[in-house]
């Protein structure tokens, strides 16, 4: 009976810590994209907000951190 339990645990691709890392990465990426949202420039009105530090530096850095966390969540090997 215990052999069956161990087999099912080994057959799972993602364990608890992996799922937690992937879910937190999803939240971080979503926050990064939400930081990029805002008004755009039209033909009649120029919006200098499109060149803000939040949209050019902060938001892409947050998204990059989320994507790195996705990679870490996929390759993380749980200790036995």
Residue 74 to residue 77: CA distance in whole angstroms:
9
Sequence spans of domains, the chain:
13-75
Q: What is the pLDDT of residues 5-61, one digit of tens each?
A: 556 556 666 678 899 999 999 999 999 999 999 888 888 888 888 899 999 999 999
Residue 59 Cα distances to 11, 26, 39, 49, 68, angstroms? 37, 14, 15, 14, 14
| pLDDT of the residue at 8 | 57
| pLDDT of the residue at 79 | 74
**Which positions ≥6 away from 65 have C-beta within 8 Å?**
28, 32
The count of C-alpha atoms lying within 13 angstroms of the C-alpha of 43, restricted to the half-sphere facing its C-beta, is 0
């Amino acid at each position: 009976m215990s052999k069956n339990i161990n087999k099912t645990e080994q057959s799972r691709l993602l364990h608890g810590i992996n799922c937690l890392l992937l879910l937190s990465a999803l939240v971080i990426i979503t926050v990064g994209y939400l930081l990029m949202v805002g008004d755009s420039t039209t033909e009649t009105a120029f919006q200098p907000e499109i060149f803000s530090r939040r949209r050019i530096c902060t938001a892409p850095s947050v998204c990059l951190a989320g994507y790195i966390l996705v990679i870490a969540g996929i390759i993380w090997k749980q200790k036995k």
